[in-house]
Structures are given as C-alpha cells and as structure tokens.
Amino acid sequence: MSTTIAENKIIRYRGTELNTKGWQQEAVLRMLMNNLDKEVAEIPEELVVYGGIGKAARNWESFDAIVESLKNLEDDETLLVQSGKPVVIFKTHTDAPRVLLANSNIVPAYANWDTFHELDKKGLMMYGQMTAGSWIYIGSQGIVQGTYETFAELAKQHFNGTLQGTITVTAGLGGMGGAQPLSVTMNGGVCIAIDVEEWRIDRRIETRYTDVKTDSLDEAIRLANEAKAEGKALSIGLVGNAAEILPEMIKRNFIPDALTDQTSAHDPLNGYVPTGLSIEEANKLRASDPEEYVKRSKASMAVHVKAMLEMMEKGAITFDYGNNIRQVAKDEGVENAFDFPGFVPAYIRPQFCEGKGPFRWVALSGDPEDIYKTDEAILREFSDNEHLCNWIRMAQEKIEFQGLPSRICWLGYGERARFGKILNDMVASGELKAPIVIGRDHLDSGSVASPNRETEAMKDGSDVVADWPILNAMVNAVGGATWVSVHHGGGVGMGYSLHAGVVIVADGTKEAEARLQRVLTTDPGMGVVRHVDAGYDIAINKARETGMKIPMLDK
C-alpha cells in the first residue's frame, strides 16, 4: 500500500459534525483514524502503529469494512472485531459497548511466534500489541509519564532524587522507546539512546523527544561526559546497533550510571535488528530466510544482554524495560539473564497497588484548547497532589501533541471516576467543544498478566495467573465501556502475556455519567483487588480506606 493511498484512507475527522450515528461510534472512528495518523503511527502505510508489528486492522479490506461498519452502526448495536477483522454486528442495547475486540489470542499450548506467523500468513490473524489493535494509542506522549515516573523512582532510589549529573544509556527510539530520552532529561539527566534506524532518531528530534544526533560513539560519549560534568540535561540519539555499541562502550571503559533497553526484542523477526547487517541487508534476510534472521536476532540479543550484565557488574543501575529481552537471552543460554530486575517490581508496583497507571484522555474536537481546559481542571481539582500538578505543568511545556490533542496522567482508584465526572460535566456545559475519549494503556494495574513484566515477582507467586485481565474486560464491558478488548502477546511477545483494554466516552449525557462512574471505578478497582489478593499492604490499606467490598479481605 503506497503512502498516498494510506493517506487517502486515513482521515483526520475533527470538529462537532458527526460522520456516524452518534458520539460513541464517532469516538471509535476518530480514534481508529488517530491510531494510524502519520503523526502518531510508526508505519501507517502498513497499518503498523507501534511496538514491532502492532497493527490497527488486519489488512486494508478489513480497515475499510470497519470504517463502513462504524459509519452505519446504530446506538444499540455492537460490532465485534476478531484480530483486526470486523466479523459481526449484533443488536445489543444502548449501555453496552459499541465495539468488542479480541486480538492475537491463541490457545495456550500453541501460543508462540511460529503459530502466529503461520496464521498471519494465511490472513487469519494480526498482532494487536496493546493499544494498537484496541485503538487508544496516542503516540510517544502516551507512555512518557510512565517512563518519566520510572526514571524518577530510579533517581529517588539511587541518585538522591535527581538524574542530574548522571548518564543513562538505552536503545530503541520507536513509538514507545522514543519517550526515554525526554523522560531522562525531564529528570535532569543525560541520555545516550541508540537506534539502528536513523529515521527513528530524526523523528524523535522533530517532536522534541531527543535533542541531538550523532553516528559516532566517541562523539556521543564526549557530549554525554561534558553535559554530565556541567550538570546539564541532554539527550543524544546515537545511530548504531545496541548489541555492537554496548560492547564497544565496555572496551572504552565507559560505564553509564543507569542502563536499560527498549528495542522491540519481544519480536525477534520484525522488531529486533541483528548485528553485522545493514538495515537493507536485514530487510532482505527477513524476507528471504526468516529462520536464519530469527537465529541471528536471538544470538545478538544474548550478546546485548551479556553486555548489560557486565555493565551492571561494573556499577550501572540496570533494569529490563518490558521487552522480554532477558527471556530470549536466557533461552539462548545466558543463565543469569534475569539478574537485573524488570521495571515494574523495581520501580512501579507501589503505584499499581493504588490502581494507578497510564490513564489518558483525548479531545475529539481536535482543538488543543480543550486539553488545556482539562489541564486547568486537574490543577484546580487535584491541587493537593503536588506531584500530579507538577506533571501537568511540565507536560504542557514539554510534550508536543501528536494527532488528536490528548493528555496522560497517572490517576488511581477513586481519582479516575472523580475526574471522569468532571470531564463529562465540562462537555455537558459546553466548556469543551466536543466529547472526550477516556482510556488507558493495557500496561495498567489490573488489566494484564505478564510474568516478565507487569506481574513479575508478585508477592504471592501469582505471576502467571491470567484470570485477572479476563475479569477486567468482562466487568468493564458490563459497566458500559464504549469499547473493550482482550489481547495476547502485547509488550513481551507471543506466549508471555494476556491483557485487556478499555475506552469510554464522556459525551456530556446523564447516561454517560452513570457509565463513567461504573467503569472508571471497576477498572482501576481491579488493580487494587489484584494487588490485595497478592498480599500487598498498600493495596489492602487502599481497599479498607475506600470501603471496597472484598469478601475474603479479613480472612
């Protein structure tokens, strides 16, 4: 599909005129288009949104049929989407979700990349990643607070609360990984971010996520050391292969203060580039001999992880950033690959215990003023939460909108329902020009089972228990979310995760108010309950304080 044809199909709907039969359907249509907007998606002409081959629709025929279905969908109908293909429209009722999606789910004994690729080739499946196939991706801005919070917590635990005067090395400047350099500089630090594809670095520079670019390792080290000495924040995009650059850094005795990685290692065929090949050679090999490609890719990841382990031994604070690279290295014989922790147990879990996670909202009007007004509402209504207010001020200043104007902030149980009502009231009063879409990443507190990531090292050993995301999806659908999704393999690849998504529209009606109250309570509530069940005190206290009805809490 050529770029022009894709551009003709992907339409930027804005303003208050409906292209569908109601705001709920309109919200789905606009968010599907937004997922594939060229400002938002990584490779829209291939329907690829982010995260390796995370797609929004199975193919262009399916995309067209989804759009057509949404345009004709009644207020009491529900469209079902199976791995990016619309399969049926049922009459349901007005409070039911308008769309239900299931993406990339494979029977557990067969749940691996080989089966997936076979099905994908036959046109029977697509990879939905997390927010790609569930139409609530908003570009790098969607992850930036999570990444910021991770580095802030790392700074708190290891560097007296700031990254000033420290150097972080990472790799992967794709859709999500691109948030890393900005998050490091927002914490005052210096970042060298390696990417094998130069255009990815250019894109992050255009959107102000990265400051400068070089293809020379020595130049990158020099710039980083200078900025570190001056206590200046600086991010440097370094063109190169991480599995080659890290060993070179060790040879030069350059050991960063902090170290991680966000290449798309979860997908050895489409997400990670092996060493010793140019991009053109890699693309050719991927097409001509996928088995050989995967072999080389996995071997390179082993080298990459070994270098990370060596840097850790030499003093770098090292963590896995949610791409399953440790698992691949371990399978390749790096026995101690899991010696460095994942980011959730290391830095994020206490927030999950309170039902907090990457909550987000999008202005369907397309007018940035709508988002600025919601920012003001946060600053006014949550003025006692200094951390949150600082975040909103910093986001206003530093984060470029991509596609439809949107905002991300980590709200928890209680806060989300409260803010949902505020947003709905603002739509009802006409303060905002059009309805607001409210959603979150699947990487949230109660919506994912992923033993090498969100549920790594759970207190009670329940890392692989996958009932929670299913319960999450069911209760959110019952409560009247606008669209709900259940996916497999997001973040860490096939066989390693099950997760659910939820999106709900605040259109200013009383009916929406009731739905928002229900869904924005059950959804983060599942996060609290999941952690109560695993025995975390923060979650148990939260449940007690808020009077949650948990049958076996005191037993």
Q: DSSP code of 431?
A: S
* Annotated binding-site residue numbers for NAD(+): 51-52, 129, 175-177, 195, 200, 241-242, 262-266, 272-273, 321, 491
How far apart CA 17 and CA 14 sit, in angstroms, is 8
Q: DSSP code of 465?
A: -
Cα Rg, the chain, nearest whole Å:
22
**Choice from 25, 35, 47, 52 touching ligand NAD (CB under 6 A):** 52
Q: How far is the CB of 101 from ligand NAD (least distance, A)?
A: 18
Residue 218's CB is within 10 A of a number of other CB atoms, namely 11
Specify the residue, 126 or 176, whose C-beta has the smaller distance to ligand NAD. Answer: 176
DSSP string covering 9-71: HS----SS--SSSSHHHHHHHHHHHHHT-TTT-SBGGGTEEETTTEESSSSHHHHHHHHHHHH
**Choice from 193, 196, 217, 317 touching ligand NAD (CB under 6 A):** 196
Establish if 143 lies at the interface with ligand NAD (CB under 6 A). yes
Contact yes or no for 453/469 (Cβ under 8 A) = no
CA distance between the termini of the chain = 59
Specify the residue, 25 or 180, whose C-beta has the smaller distance to ligand NAD. Answer: 180
Strand 406-411 to 357-363 pairing = antiparallel
How far apart CA 26 and CA 96 sit, in angstroms, is 16
DSSP string covering 322-337: SS-HHHHHHHTT-TTG
**Choice from 13, 28, 40, 50 touching ligand NAD (CB under 6 A):** 50
Establish if 439 lies at the interface with ligand NAD (CB under 6 A). no
- Subset of 258-287 contacting ligand NAD (CB under 6 A): 262-266, 271-273
Binding mask 27-46 for ligand NAD (x = CB under 6 A): ---------------x----
Residue 99's CB is within 10 A of a number of other CB atoms, namely 28
Spell out the SS3 assignment of 355-392: CCEEEEEEECCCCHHHHHHHHHHHHHHCCCCHHHHHHH
Specify the residue, 171 or 186, whose C-beta has the smaller distance to ligand NAD. Answer: 171
Binding mask 369-408 for ligand NAD (x = CB under 6 A): ----------------------------------------
Establish if 495 lies at the interface with ligand NAD (CB under 6 A). no
Binding window for ligand NAD (CB under 6 A); candidates: 50-58, 404-412, 514-522, 543-551: 50-58
Contact yes or no for 503/142 (Cβ under 8 A) = no
Specify the residue, 46 or 76, whose C-beta has the smaller distance to ligand NAD. Answer: 46
Q: How far is the CB of 169 from ligand NAD (least distance, A)?
A: 11
Classify 518 as helix, strand or coil. Answer: helix
How far apart CA 482 and CA 439 sit, in angstroms, is 10
Task: Respond yes or no: is residue 191 known to be catalytic.
Answer: no
* Annotated binding-site residue numbers: 51-52, 129, 175-177, 195, 200, 241-242, 262-266, 272-273, 321, 491
Contact yes or no for 207/201 (Cβ under 8 A) = no
- Subset of 326-365 contacting ligand NAD (CB under 6 A): 343
Establish if 448 lies at the interface with ligand NAD (CB under 6 A). no
Specify the residue, 469 or 479, whose C-beta has the smaller distance to ligand NAD. Answer: 469
**Choice from 13, 63, 148, 321 touching ligand NAD (CB under 6 A):** 321
How far apart CA 12 and CA 490 sit, in angstroms, is 27
Contact yes or no for 280/306 (Cβ under 8 A) = no
Residue 419's CB is within 10 A of a number of other CB atoms, namely 23
Closest CA to 293 of 309, 304, 277: 277
How far apart CA 13 and CA 159 sit, in angstroms, is 46
Establish if 302 lies at the interface with ligand NAD (CB under 6 A). no
Annotated catalytic residue within 191, 353, 389, 409: 409
- Subset of 4-23 contacting ligand NAD (CB under 6 A): none
Binding window for ligand NAD (CB under 6 A); candidates: 63-71, 171-179, 368-376, 503-511: 171-179
Binding mask 199-228 for ligand NAD (x = CB under 6 A): -x----------------------------
- Tell me the catalytic residues: 409
What residues make contact with ligand NAD under the rule CB under 6 A?
A: 42, 50-52, 143, 146, 171-177, 194-197, 200, 241-243, 262-266, 271-273, 321-323, 343, 443, 491
